[in-house]
């Protein structure tokens, strides 16, 4: 067995301070863990292994590579500063007289984030929950993957890349939360959880709270979503169910205005009158239920938007001759809601 030390050094002119100390698991279904000490100026991972692979710092499947990724992730969440990595080194002690070292200097490294990246959004993450990413469990991996995508979304210069990375973070978290086999079932489970436990989603619900019907309608392609998601009469039942599970008057105002484009299909299944009565009840009473707005925007609508981008159903977003487009404006408007929901989910990841 060899005693192995991994050192990560950051460019930091502050006095040294300890941010975290604890264990970082490196095998699933095992109690085996490395000791991690995280500072503002760097990190030290103490390990004990039988051997170290050649070029372990560049092996994607090596446990050392994964431990470094976890450490970098936790560092940026806790420090919230885009400090460059100055050096990463693995030192292997094989005995009193034998030592080997692998090292990557700043010139050889690709920085995780640029020096100009604003990591301020990470302030809202409970660092105790973020430390779950050190676990080698389904929950730990979901948190790790989500945080990597969240950080890279903040580092993105394109709003489309930022949105796509946020969606990947969201996807990792809601699948770990719901533990269902299909996207639809995961979405349903999360929507119900938000509705039943609004206090667990303070950041995202606070953002959607002041929205008006006009705010929402003016920023999204609602009718296109309805036409896309409910393209045939066979989908009329799903449209009916979508409407009936919403009570917030802002979303129902928009559904009411869009009924003409699917009125025939709803009439065919005998659902039109029931849908109209439900809408009238809640729009006339001005029912407010923020969970409906949050779920509709982040789960239902953004899933539609994400699929249009990911499945190449539109021209590449960068193939544009205008500096700003309507699609870019839509994505920019949506991003804060999704980012807040991702952080809310990270803050309850210990319940997954």
Q: What is the per-residue pLDDT for 196?
A: 97
Percent of the chain exceeding pLDDT 90 equals: 84
Helix ranges (DSSP H) in 114-201: 127-130, 138-154, 159-178, 183-196
Residues 116, 40, single domain; the answer is yes
Residues 181, 251, single domain; the answer is yes
Whether 308 is in a domain gets the answer yes
Residues 178, 301, single domain; the answer is yes
Range of the domain at 213: 159-351
Q: What is the per-residue pLDDT for 23?
A: 96
Q: Evaluate if residue 44 carries a pLDDT over 70.
A: yes
Quote the CA–CA distance of 153 and 334 in Å, as a whole number: 14
Residues 216, 293, single domain; the answer is yes
Residues 115, 168, single domain; the answer is no
pTM of the predicted protein model:
0.94
Residues 87, 184, single domain; the answer is no
> Sorting pLDDT into bands at 50, 70 and 90, what band is 54?
confident
| pLDDT one-digit tens code per residue, 114-144 | 999 999 999 999 999 999 999 999 999 999 9
- For residue 122, how many other CB atoms are within 10 A of its CB? 21
Domain count, the chain: 2
Residues 119, 44, single domain; the answer is yes
Identify how many contiguous H helices and E strands the chain contains and give both numbers: 15, 6
Q: What is the per-residue pLDDT for 105?
A: 94
Residues 85, 231, single domain; the answer is no
| pLDDT one-digit tens code per residue, 220-252 | 999 999 999 999 999 999 999 999 999 999 999
Residues 208, 347, single domain; the answer is yes
Q: Return the ∠ at Cα 275 (arms to 210 and 330), rounded to 5°.
A: 40
> Sorting pLDDT into bands at 50, 70 and 90, what band is 325?
confident
Q: Can you tell me which residue has the tokens 């009411």?
A: 256
Averaged over 179-184, what is the pLDDT?
A: 94
């Amino acid at each position: 067995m060899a005693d192995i030390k991994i050192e990560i050094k950051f460019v930091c002119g502050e006095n040294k301070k300890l941010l975290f100390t604890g264990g970082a698991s490196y095998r699933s279904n095992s109690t085996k863990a490395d000791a991690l000490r995280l500072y503002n100026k760097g990190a030290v991972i103490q390990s004990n292994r039988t051997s170290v692979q050649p070029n372990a710092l560049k092996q994607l499947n090596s446990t050392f590579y994964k431990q470094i990724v976890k450490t970098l992730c936790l560092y940026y969440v806790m420090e919230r500063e885009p400090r460059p990595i100055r050096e990463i080194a693995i030192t292997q002690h094989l005995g009193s007289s034998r030592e080997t070292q692998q090292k990557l200097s700043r010139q050889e490294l690709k920085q995780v984030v640029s020096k100009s990246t604003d990591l301020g959004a990470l302030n809202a993450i409970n660092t105790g929950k973020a430390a779950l990413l050190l676990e080698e469990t389904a929950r730990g991996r979901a948190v790790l993957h989500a945080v990597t995508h969240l950080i890279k979304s903040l580092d993105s210069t394109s709003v489309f890349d930022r949105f796509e990375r946020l969606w990947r973070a969201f996807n990792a978290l809601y699948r770990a939360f719901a533990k269902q086999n299909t996207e639809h079932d995961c979405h349903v489970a999360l929507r119900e959880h938000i509705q039943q436990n609004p206090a667990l989603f303070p950041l995202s619900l606070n953002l959607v709270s002041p929205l008006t019907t006009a705010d929402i309608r003016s920023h999204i392609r609602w009718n296109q979503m309805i036409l896309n998601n409910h393209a045939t009469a066979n989908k009329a039942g799903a449209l009916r169910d979508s409407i009936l599970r919403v009570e917030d008057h802002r979303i129902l105002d928009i559904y009411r205005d869009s009924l003409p484009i699917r009125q025939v299909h709803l009439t065919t299944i005998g659902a039109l009158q029931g849908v109209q009565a439900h809408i009238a009840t809640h729009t006339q009473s001005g029912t407010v239920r923020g969970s409906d707005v949050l779920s509709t925007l982040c789960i239902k609508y953004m899933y539609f938007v994400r699929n249009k981008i990911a499945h190449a159903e539109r021209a590449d977003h960068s193939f544009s001759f205008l500096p700003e487009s309507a699609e870019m404006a839509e994505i920019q408007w949506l991003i804060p809601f999704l980012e807040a929901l991702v952080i809310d989910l990270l803050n309850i990841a210990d319940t997954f």
